Structure 1
Amino acid sequence: MSVTFKLQDFEGPLDLLLHLIEKNKMSIYDIEISSITDQYMAYLEDAKEVEVEQMSEFIVMAATLLYIKSRMLLPKHPKAEEEEDPREELVRKLIEYKKVKYVSEQLSACQVDTDRYCFRNRTAHLDLPEYEPDYSGILDRLTLNQLYDTFNELMKQKEWENKTKSERKIDHNILKKDTYTIEQKSMYITNLIALNGRTTFFTICSKEMPKIELIVTFMALLELIHKKQVTITQDDPKGDIIIVGGPEGDEDGFGK
């Protein structure tokens, strides 16, 4: 009995494309774009109960596939130089997504396995028999100073327990789903340049940002440089990096 997948079963368009490639036993480096596009469009036609924002991502990918398909159907000019494979950008994104998906699955598996481990400083639960102490004679020969010292020791112990408990507390913010994407950060950088004519590295990467946002922002900047959509210059080796639009400078998009 075959398993039927719906569009809402996939995390995004790249997840759906990977499923189709694996289902058809294709090489990710040599995608039969015509066949994959037809199957992808069939999934979109059967889509139900999908949010509008999520659906828009699938539609954008559909437009990209149709564009690549049309380019591959066009005849090549015999005298033209070797053209870039229109699938190259899509293949690169699929490979990066596959890496991230693999790491995510490994981390999820590790999280499940943590229930089998016992960490240091965790409170132990011992099955000890109940004991009813004999209170007669406990206060015999007990002075006020001894009682005061005992009370101070209890207060110090309580303070230590509260401190260690706060140190063992899990920061649930690190478990939140990543909400930053390279596409969003790329748009943010280009919008800053469009508004101000330029921006700087310290402007888009501040110290107050979470580590994951810094990483995604830096990757977005590298992506824009690779595509020659921005140019960077730096007058002082230890100074700020100036970011402007357009391929000004050498062929790699880097200024002197």
Structure 2
Amino acid sequence: MEPTTIGEYKVSYHLKTKQFEGPLDLLLTLIEKRKLFIGDFALAKVADEYIAHIRKFEAFPMNDVANFLLVASTLVLIKSKALLPELNLGEDEESDIDDLKRRLAMYELYRSLAQHIRINFGKEIIFERSGRPEIMPVFAPEKHCSAAQMGESIRAVLHALPKKIELPKATVRKIVSIEEMMTRLATRVGEALKTSFGKFSRYEKGKAPRKEERLEIIVSFLAMLELVKQGVVHVTQHEDFGDIDIEAHKFDTPQYA
């Protein structure tokens, strides 16, 4: 379905599944289920559950996939920022997060209003208005309006119409997946028995990484959390915002300095 413009916003989430009508509907439902308010904390909390729901969906058109994945990627950014407070996001990434929160708040308002309309729609009308007589439209310009003036008015209207803008083409660069990063980290720890998150991700504290580096740091961090969850590695952080030591959960061979 084509995007719909509402004020200065363009709403293009119209996929209807068995339970949800789009990514914002799914996201808002997950937040309301946890009785949370829209904000960074709530979005970080429901990120994993949102991604799990996406994986359960059956095949749907590519345009709709892009909308769901766009929201998912923004949620991953929010969760990564919550877990890595010192990770500085770029202006575009911060803007994406703010935009998602604005859209979600707007959707919450529309859904609430739609619920009121749904409740009142179809009720019995006691005093029904009588039908208005059909009036045929007639083009009847004023007497003093000349053909030249009409032509000038038409040209002014055509000139005021929005011009078609060719957007620059974007290229999508493949970023290493979480599964690939998990394999790298498991291999690294399996060979060295111990490493640190800073060494593995090449994250230098106090240095602002480039956008591509930030993405790899985020993926590395999520891969580490997943390996901890699976019991493959054990992590230790000795101080707040300090580096994280990563070591194999079970040692089968002696460790050397």
TM-score > 0.5, shorter chain as reference: no
Compare CA radii of gyration and give the structure with the larger one. 1
Higher RCO, Cα 8 Å, sep 6+: 2
**Superposition TM-score, scaled by structure 1 size:** 0.39
**Superposition TM-score, scaled by structure 2 size:** 0.39
